[in-house]
Structure 1
């Protein structure tokens, strides 16, 4: 075989290997990314008080900025216990048992009811042989979100979406995968097989597409095991998998569609390739050869129309996705790629791989592996995901009543790992504002409770760069303590060097380099470099400046107005900083400082709404609605005036 390998494969493999380091696939960024996603899991699990897990590209760190991968999350119900056999029944709390029959496709099961009292419920039904089983179709919660198979897609921002799956967790190893653990292969090792078996499986509420009882079937998913195997990829295996995903997106998807070849097919292909080849093959100088090996495997699977699941080989993952002209098209694309002997990489547009590889191949030296801006920016995607999850948990916490908030903060105060510490600080700010608002609502103020609220707000200052401090500054202004308010606002300026606004942008390059240079954890990075939007709920109304009480949206206003809870207000941290400065200086009579703050505030409005193409009409609708709700002392009037000025200038330019 070695004689058939083109001579340039080794040299190009090394150049491509180093180039991929620069787009965010180096080992240090890879493991930073994985740890950030693990911390994000902790955040939402703590916030929801229930297990929460992230899977797919984000959790595996097998994505780049160009691939634009979504986040796949799984929520499962711990209250619905499932068994695999009657002899394992040790408790009366078990509700279901996994069953199958001759008509149940491989990789799928039904859930028969053990508790006879549940049989008359509407989400249970009789199957073809007379068993009462749990309907997978009725398991989905009522939602207006877009459905993709078993997943709900939620667009958080224009570039950030979450695919959420509801599933059941089983702690045992499924019988249908029993043959996999007894295979005579060196991959995976026996130690890893034992580890994977301990993770169990998920039962996803989706049936086989061609089964007459698909509404009663549940798909077996070994998602935990797959994540463990991908984490254990060496650098070459990791990059080979990502390159297959890039090839799929650039060459396959435009002509064959999204479903013909998926990322999961590519992942399965790498697993089988590792099983059938010696570990010595997977070295940087063989990267192209490894990709070609996987392409040949995919080509063979497409030709026979059968892609075996790695854990349950009897399950054909092409079933219902690959047929007719799509199969012919996909086979033609793969054959064409194999004929090009790696030259297709020079045309790969994802992350600008093709042009950059072309330039590298025109030099006599292999490029160094130093981190560049592109690679560090790729890691910024995981930071954005983490900040979104923290903001999500913050909103959930703010929806609780005061008693629940106090109990929740007390519980997480018992742990001292980084993530609970960050959440404790974020929640302390919200709890302090809520408590202070209740104190200020009465004509006779309870000084003792107000002091406790002040201490909580002060503790919450360390949650991130701005939001906790801004709430504290607003609290001081409400109490006419202008000296302390000005002191807090000045402190914010001192810490505003690197801004990662959850509302608006990915982290700056300088901030991301700090993670690598100082070996910061994601939790510490949040505290030092992230500026969350300020979130006020109705329960905090007496701690808000008067002009912000009625829906003053600055950043991402239309999205928050349409989909956010009606009793909350989101305020962009930078705008709120300028607004509080204006109020503070105005009430102290510092005219020059007041006018400077006003100019800064107007510039923030310009930057937020007018920099992004297509946002003007959305901004106009939000601002007009805000003015209809409150037509006096509303900062939206300034923004409307600025938009009108911009519109007239635009019309003059067109004329």
Structure 2
């Protein structure tokens, strides 16, 4: 899913890469969404002269008097005025400043309490980390030794070749305390690391996950040890040990042995203040960081944990509270399937990633997705491309012009049909929201009876077995998922027929009902689908003077809110906004005020 989103999010000026643990396939408690945006208009070179393009900016790596793993980026050529404003003079040469890049991104694009965190801009809730980066298409000389260093079968020649062909990225952060810190950029092997982790056996991935759990749940809970270690150090240790051991060792029956070997290496690294970068061993990442008294405190903590052997993982409540009675051993395929469904429904990071994709500004994503889907030969990937094309459908349509009511004018008719066909692609990623967007189009073009027909169809799908964001699966869901039609279907197919997404509107949406636009724009743009269905039904009946049906729709809206029926707990206030508007139109000002409160 991450790869599909990344492929479809790429546009003319930048490439989007989901990185960090989530990009590597681990959705764990406390994880966040790390997104790298790589500029396509800037190219970094080391010693290879690129084919000149006057529209590009060219930067040259300058590693003199810079710590290994970092570089200054000297300006060679640019005609971009905005980029020149992010440059600084140093010793008579012009350098691209990482600090100025972050400050500009922070001041221009983020105004809601975001903070600068390392090379990233972080949102106020600590869920999203966004990093601007630049790309070097060739493999850099300081990491050349990695290509020939390993004599084991891991990583394979093909994986190394793929990593080398990608090159490296640079992110805006320098060595702390360096006199040139604001000008320095750190070499990022994020894509290489993802490709390496994709080769992991399940045992390797479990060792990595267990180390991360111990770090987050046990070590970092000690205020003296907080922020001393990070997941990147653990990943580095796993990489080194994977290179040293034959693949035959990384088997399930060796899990405890492999885990303890990794933990032993972590203790060793802290004891001797040495953690060598996997691709550039000249860079000791513990230098000037894990030293002195803090090293002694951390080492004591690790030794205490180590004295418990593998049982040290039980200090994490994620492990110690694991309910074994929920699982039948050997684990049945159905149990794993339900676990996958539960993970997707509960995952806040996946929801955030998909929401970011849906609101992405580039309208070419839609056409790119169609091309990817047609050229893709793997059936399961076709489903994924179709899923994300569908997610984009409503956002795509909302950006199209819609000139009032439907008129029997040839141009207007063509415009209307284009709008409708784009919206119809939106019905393939969930069971309800796509159809409600179509109903919104009919409402906006004053085709109220057609809108009501679709709303009734949508409401008929809002049954207790449906899934929605943040849901805890009940017995009803377990029984539904056990039915034969679902057992052999992939999760994307399941989302199409069982998931109910939220209704989202663009800032300048041409689909948002006028009554909702006046009250809501600038406050929120996400509504529970079932609440919106009753609200839109109320509006349609209101405009065609169906008094009794108006009252029925209003009572239906009040009932689903009161019972939180198919409405996530965190989304109730948005449902009350819909109720308040409906009550106000109905003439019940006092109840409307209460709903708004």
- CA gap of 1:619–1:454, structure 2 versus 1, over 3 A, is closer
User: Any residues of structure 2 matched to 1:25-174 within 5 Å, and which?
Assistant: 36-45=1-10, 50-64=14-28, 67-85=29-47, 87-91=48-52, 93=56, 95-101=58-64, 103-115=65-77, 121-127=84-90, 129-140=91-102, 141-142=105-106, 143-144=110-111, 145-154=114-123, 161-174=127-140
2:377 maps to what in 1? none
2:538 maps to what in 1? 582
Contact 2:433–2:500, Cα closer than 8 Å, also in 1: yes
Give 1:309 shift. Answer: 0.8
Contact 1:83–1:170, Cα closer than 8 Å, also in 2: yes
Contact 1:209–1:320, Cα closer than 8 Å, also in 2: no
2:160 aligned with 1:193:
yes
Contact 1:302–1:331, Cα closer than 8 Å, also in 2: yes
Give 1:366 shift. Answer: 9.3
Contact 1:476–1:482, Cα closer than 8 Å, also in 2: yes
1:245 maps to what in 2? 212
Residues 182-206 of structure 1: CA distance to partner in whole angstroms, max 9, x if unpaired?
A: 2253132333322322221111111
Give 1:333 shift. Answer: 1.4
Q: Equivalent residue of 1:337, what SS?
A: helix
2:202 maps to what in 1? 235
The structure 2 residue matched to 1:304, chosen from 246, 268, 272, is: 272
- Counterpart-to-counterpart distance in 1, 2:570 and 2:156: 54
- CA gap of 1:98–1:571, structure 2 versus 1, over 3 A, is same
2:378 maps to what in 1? none
Contact 1:56–1:72, Cα closer than 8 Å, also in 2: yes
1:344 maps to what in 2? 312
- Counterpart-to-counterpart distance in 1, 2:526 and 2:588: 14
- CA gap of 1:385–1:355, structure 2 versus 1, over 3 A, is closer
State the structure with bigger RCO (CA 8 A, min sep 6), 1 or 2: 1
Give 1:316 shift. Answer: 1.5
Contact 2:46–2:140, Cα closer than 8 Å, also in 1: yes
Contact 2:16–2:35, Cα closer than 8 Å, also in 1: yes
Give 1:494 shift. Answer: 3.7
1:354 maps to what in 2? 320
Residues 13-48 of structure 1: CA distance to partner in whole angstroms, max 9, x if unpaired?
A: xxxxxxxxxxxxxxxxxxxxxxx22122234336x8
Return 265-274 or 473-482, whichever deviates more. Answer: 473-482
2:490 aligned with 1:520:
yes
Give 1:615 shift. Answer: 9.5
Residues 115-145 of structure 1: CA distance to partner in whole angstroms, max 9, x if unpaired?
A: 2878993422333x54322111112213342
The structure 2 residue matched to 1:438, chosen from 388, 403, 421, is: 403
- CA gap of 1:426–1:239, structure 2 versus 1, over 3 A, is closer
Contact 1:466–1:532, Cα closer than 8 Å, also in 2: yes
1:267 maps to what in 2? 235
Residues 37-69 of structure 1: CA distance to partner in whole angstroms, max 9, x if unpaired?
A: 2122234336x87311111211222343xx231
Contact 1:84–1:98, Cα closer than 8 Å, also in 2: yes
Return 161-170 or 481-490, whichever deviates more. Answer: 481-490
Q: Equivalent residue of 1:214, what SS?
A: coil
- CA gap of 1:507–1:448, structure 2 versus 1, over 3 A, is farther
2:258 maps to what in 1? 290
1:602 maps to what in 2? 558
Contact 2:275–2:286, Cα closer than 8 Å, also in 1: yes
1:18 maps to what in 2? none
- Counterpart-to-counterpart distance in 1, 2:288 and 2:577: 48
The structure 2 residue matched to 1:175, chosen from 141, 145, 154, is: 141
Residues 209-241 of structure 1: CA distance to partner in whole angstroms, max 9, x if unpaired?
A: 132211111111111111111111111111111
The structure 2 residue matched to 1:496, chosen from 462, 465, 474, is: 462
Give 1:108 shift. Answer: 0.7
RMSD of equivalent CA atoms: 4.1
Structure 1, unaligned runs of 5 or more: 1-35, 554-559, 645-655
How many corresponding residue pairs? 566
- Counterpart-to-counterpart distance in 1, 2:221 and 2:115: 23
Contact 1:605–1:639, Cα closer than 8 Å, also in 2: no
The structure 2 residue matched to 1:469, chosen from 413, 418, 435, is: 435
Contact 1:436–1:454, Cα closer than 8 Å, also in 2: no
- CA gap of 1:137–1:381, structure 2 versus 1, over 3 A, is farther
